[in-house]
Structure 1
Amino acid sequence: MTMTANDSSFPRIISDSRLIAGPEPEVQLHLINKHLADIERFSAERTLVMMHGATFSSASLFDVAVAGASFMDVLAQAGYDVWAVDARGYGGSSRPPAMSRAPEDGSPLVTARTAVEDFSAAVDFICRHRDVVSVNVLGMSWGATIAGMFASGASAKVAKLVLVTPLWLSDRPLRIDAGGPLGAYRIVSPRAFEAAWRGAAPEHARRELIPDGWFEAWEKVTLATDPGSPHDGAIRAPSGAVQDVRVHWTAGDPLYDPDDITCPALVLAAEWDADVRFDMAHDLFARLASAPYKRLVEVGQGTHMILMERNRRQAFDAVIGFLDERAHPAS
Structure 2
Amino acid sequence: MKRLLLSSLLVSLSAAWLPASAKQPRQLVSQDYHVTSTTPGVQIFLRNKRPKDLTKFEASRTVLYVHGSTQPSETVFDLALGQGSWADYIASQGYDVWLVDVRGYGGSKPPTDQSKPFATTKEAVEDFGAAVNHILSERKISKLQLIGWSWGTLIAGSYAAAQPQHVAGLVLLAPPWLSSSGGKIPEAAWQEWTVDAALKRLQTGVPDGQAEVIFPPASKKIWEAALLAVQPDAKAHNPPRFRSPTGVVADGAEYWSANKAIYDPGKISAPTLIIRGEWDELTPLSQSQALFALLRNAPVRHLIEIPRATHFVEVETGRDVLFREVQSFLDRN
Q: Same fold (TM over 0.5)?
A: yes
Q: Say whether 1:153 aligns with 2:162.
A: yes
Write the distance in 2 (CA, Å) between the matches of 1:278 and 1:219.
28
Give the equivalent residue in structure 2 for 1:167. 176
1:273 counterpart (277, 280, 283): 280
Give the equivalent residue in structure 1 for 2:99. 84
The alpha carbon displacement at 1:300 in A equals: 1.0
Encode CA deviations 1:194-222: one digit per residue, 9 max, x unaligned. Answer: 33344531003122010341111011111
Give the equivalent residue in structure 1 for 2:27. 12
Paired amino acid for 1:79: G
The alpha carbon displacement at 1:242 in A equals: 1.0
Write the distance in 1 (CA, Å) between the matches of 2:200 and 2:12.
33
Query: 1:188-267 to 2 correspondence within 5 Å?
Result: 188-198=193-203, 200-228=205-233, 232=237, 233-267=240-274
Paired amino acid for 1:143: G
Change (3 A) 1:231 1:261: farther
The alpha carbon displacement at 1:230 in A equals: 7.9
Write the distance in 2 (CA, Å) between the matches of 1:122 and 1:242.
23
Give the equivalent residue in structure 1 for 2:21. none
Paired amino acid for 1:152: A
Q: Say whether 1:303 aligns with 2:317.
A: no
2:143 counterpart (93, 109, 134): 134
1:111 counterpart (117, 120, 127): 120
Secondary structure of 2:286 counterpart: helix
Q: Say whether 1:183 aligns with 2:188.
A: yes
Paired amino acid for 1:29: I
Change (3 A) 1:68 1:230: closer
Write the distance in 2 (CA, Å) between the matches of 1:156 and 1:273.
32
Secondary structure of 1:62 counterpart: coil
Write the distance in 2 (CA, Å) between the matches of 1:291 and 1:7.
35
Secondary structure of 2:258 counterpart: coil
Paired amino acid for 1:124: N
Structure 1 gaps of 5+ residues are 100-105, 327-331
Write the distance in 1 (CA, Å) between the matches of 2:248 and 2:120.
5
Secondary structure of 2:26 counterpart: coil
Paired amino acid for 1:302: A
The alpha carbon displacement at 1:110 in A equals: 1.0
Write the distance in 2 (CA, Å) between the matches of 1:95 and 1:28.
8
Secondary structure of 2:206 counterpart: coil
Whether contact under 8 Å (2:204, 2:281) holds in the other structure is no
2:69 counterpart (45, 54, 68): 54
Q: Say whether 1:96 aligns with 2:96.
A: no
Write the distance in 2 (CA, Å) between the matches of 1:311 and 1:234.
28
TM-score by length of 2: 0.90
Encode CA deviations 1:154-177: one digit per residue, 9 max, x unaligned. Answer: 00000001100012111335xxx6
Write the distance in 2 (CA, Å) between the matches of 1:212 and 1:45.
37
The alpha carbon displacement at 1:8 in A equals: 5.4
Write the distance in 1 (CA, Å) between the matches of 2:138 and 2:150.
27
Give the equivalent residue in structure 1 for 2:4. none
Change (3 A) 1:208 1:149: same
The alpha carbon displacement at 1:285 in A equals: 0.7
TM-score by length of 1: 0.91
Encode CA deviations 1:37-73: one digit per residue, 9 max, x unaligned. Answer: 1111111110001111110001112011010200100
Give the equivalent residue in structure 2 for 1:72. 87
